[in-house]
């Protein structure tokens, strides 16, 4: 019987070609339209209905990849990708992904690849310290902020002391549980709460001020109202860098309330957390020492290819209690006394070697270079906001925050403003030169620009102004 890969000759040749393709792609990325222009089904219809019985050489596949698949790619690595929060890949991160696949280690437990576990411990310490976070935090890498917020809230539920881990939530007399977050919190908080049995009604959305920051007084009132009605407040989620405007909830006040009310404080810093490597921004973190769990996504703003999201907690033992299996199956029992087996701190057993990306990025660029890129991008956003404010018929919908700017076109009434704003978005995105996304704030439809690609220069951002001026 033939082996799957008889030797590495074909692999080596194709690998060289692919690395060349990747370097050419990154060097020439601006020749592509940022937003893919294909229609639904265009990509699918190019492929056979069933998998081929006989294989083809890599050369033919590389050609097909460029011809059939690349047209359906929206180019997240493009320096004028300003939509959502960019996934800021970097060359160091790409190389680490290659090595991760080559090694193909699964860090289920320490012995299944000691380097995987121990490099995760090292890079979690590096990241924690680089972000100026308290030294008592334990960190773990998972795929996304959605999963990490789920884990943080699972720990919050465990910390209630209701023995939900052993007894579950059904068939017993439990009070309704409540999680509080701002009306601008990311939808992943609601999903986490749903999966944990809090129910849609268990998520209490707190009103925000004129700059989209949670109102602490409204939080206090909601907690008091719920307690009076017999519900059990469990956790409060503060967001540092909300999705629509990158606003920052008032952490010190929210932290005080959480402490007084004995609520778990979860901080969603999925996007803006990375910016805390810049020391002069650290005042935004004031009060973070009260956080029981914190999410930061290096794959949003620390030049790490997707996926890489980090959960920090000062209560690893609670997280562990929530997720360590009651009886370790025989095939997983351990004889080594490793300090940490990450499988005990979440749902998944199998674990990708994501720490390799962080290690490569920290080592190759150094923290100072990362800081400077983030500083520059925040500077681009402030400059864009200033320029926009000087333009007739353009209105900022929120103060520029971190690297996010939200604005709209103003016309005689709301409907005309919305139409003109949509037309401007379409014009920009159809040009292929850049990609922006939209949001809605207090009824106003707005254009949302988030800068975060490692290759972005002012000239890329300035295209937004050119499109406005040439309307």
d(CA 168, CA 162): 9
Q: Which is nearer to ligand PLP, 34 or 246 (CB)?
A: 246
Which helix (H) or strand (E) segment is 377 a member of?
helix 355-389
Rounded least distance, CB 42 to ligand PLP, Å: 26
Question: How large is the greatest C-alpha to C-alpha distance in the chain, in angstroms?
Answer: 75
What sections of 233-350 are H helices per DSSP?
251-261, 298-301, 316-323
d(CA 233, CA 226): 7
Rounded least distance, CB 87 to ligand PLP, Å: 9
Length of the chain: 471
End-to-end CA distance of the chain: 66
Q: Map residue 128 onto helix, strand or coil.
A: helix
Q: Which is nearer to ligand PLP, 152 or 432 (CB)?
A: 152
Q: Which is nearer to ligand PLP, 448 or 460 (CB)?
A: 448
| Sign of the CA dihedral with 203 first, then 208, 213, and 217 last | negative
Q: Which is nearer to ligand PLP, 311 or 373 (CB)?
A: 311
Q: Which is nearer to ligand PLP, 85 or 312 (CB)?
A: 85
Q: Which is nearer to ligand PLP, 76 or 110 (CB)?
A: 76
Q: Which is nearer to ligand PLP, 144 or 208 (CB)?
A: 144
Closest C-alpha to 342, from 111, 156, 117, 154: 117
Q: Which is nearer to ligand PLP, 189 or 455 (CB)?
A: 189
Rounded least distance, CB 61 to ligand PLP, Å: 29
- Cα dihedral 304, 309, 314, 319, rounded to 10, equals -150
What sections of 65-183 are H helices per DSSP?
91-103, 114-130, 145-158, 164-167
d(CA 17, CA 62): 9
d(CA 316, CA 372): 33
d(CA 49, CA 47): 7
Rounded least distance, CB 149 to ligand PLP, Å: 7
Q: Which is nearer to ligand PLP, 305 or 432 (CB)?
A: 305
Rounded least distance, CB 416 to ligand PLP, Å: 30
Q: Which is nearer to ligand PLP, 87 or 394 (CB)?
A: 87
Rounded least distance, CB 142 to ligand PLP, Å: 9
Rounded least distance, CB 274 to ligand PLP, Å: 12
d(CA 116, CA 122): 10
Rounded least distance, CB 468 to ligand PLP, Å: 26
Distances (CA, A) of 380 to 238, 377, 434, 458, 464: 26, 5, 15, 6, 12
State the residues that interact with ligand PLP by CB under 6 A: 85, 144-146, 186, 188, 239, 241-243, 268, 270-271, 297, 309
141 forms bridges with which residues in the sheet? 310
444 forms bridges with which residues in the sheet? 441
Rounded least distance, CB 257 to ligand PLP, Å: 21
Rounded least distance, CB 361 to ligand PLP, Å: 17
Q: Both tokens of residue 470? A: 């040439």
């Amino acid at each position: 019987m033939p082996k799957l890969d008889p030797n590495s000759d074909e692999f080596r040749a194709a690998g060289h070609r692919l690395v060349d393709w990747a370097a050419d792609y990154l060097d020439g990325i601006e020749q592509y339209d940022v937003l893919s222009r294909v229609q639904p089904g265009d990509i699918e219809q190019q492929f056979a209905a069933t998998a081929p019985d006989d294989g083809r050489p890599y050369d033919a596949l590389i050609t097909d990849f460029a011809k059939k698949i690349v047209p359906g790619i929206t180019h997240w690595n493009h320096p004028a990708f300003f939509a959502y929060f960019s996934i800021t890949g970097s060359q160091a991160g790409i190389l680490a992904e290659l090595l991760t696949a080559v090694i193909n280690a699964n860090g289920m437990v320490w012995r299944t690849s000691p380097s995987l576990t121990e490099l995760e411990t090292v890079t979690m310490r590096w990241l924690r310290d680089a972000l100026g976070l308290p030294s008592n935090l334990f960190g773990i890498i998972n795929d996304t902020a959605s999963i990490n917020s789920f884990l943080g809230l699972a720990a919050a539920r465990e910390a209630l002391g209701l023995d939900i881990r052993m007894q579950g939530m059904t068939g017993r007399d439990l009070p309704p549980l409540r999680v509080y977050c701002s009306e601008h919190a990311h939808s992943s908080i609601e999903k986490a709460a749903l999966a944990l049995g809090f129910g849609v009604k268990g998520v209490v959305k707190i009103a925000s001020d004129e700059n989209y920051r949670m109102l602490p007084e409204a939080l206090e009132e909601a907690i008091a109202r719920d307690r009076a009605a017999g519900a059990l407040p469990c956790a409060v989620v503060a967001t540092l860098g909300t999705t629509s405007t990158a606003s920052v909830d008032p952490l010190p006040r929210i932290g005080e309330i959480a402490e007084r009310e004995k609520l778990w404080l979860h901080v969603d810093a999925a996007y803006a957390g990375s910016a805390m490597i810049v020391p002069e921004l650290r005042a935004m973190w004031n009060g973070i020492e009260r956080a029981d769990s914190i999410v930061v996504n290096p794959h949003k703003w620390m030049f790490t290819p997707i996926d890489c999201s980090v959960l920090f907690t000062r209560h690893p033992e609670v997280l562990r209690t929530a997720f360590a299996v009651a009886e370790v199956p025989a095939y997983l029992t351990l004889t080594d006394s490793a300090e940490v087996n990450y499988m005990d701190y979440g749902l998944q057993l199998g674990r990708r070697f994501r720490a390799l990306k962080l290690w490569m990025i920290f080592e190759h660029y150094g923290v100072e270079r990362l800081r400077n890129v983030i500083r520059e991008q925040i500077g681009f956003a402030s400059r864009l906001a200033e320029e926009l404010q000087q333009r007739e018929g353009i209105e900022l919908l929120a103060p520029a925050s971190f690297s996010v700017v939200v604005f709209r076109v103003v016309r005689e009434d709301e409907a005309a403003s919305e139409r003109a704003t949509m037309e401007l978005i379409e014009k920009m995105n159809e040009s292929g030169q850049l990609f922006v996304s939209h949001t809605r704030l207090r009824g106003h439809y707005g254009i949302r620009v988030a800068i975060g690609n490692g290759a972005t220069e002012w000239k890329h951002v300035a295209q937004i102004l050119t499109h406005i001026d040439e309307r």
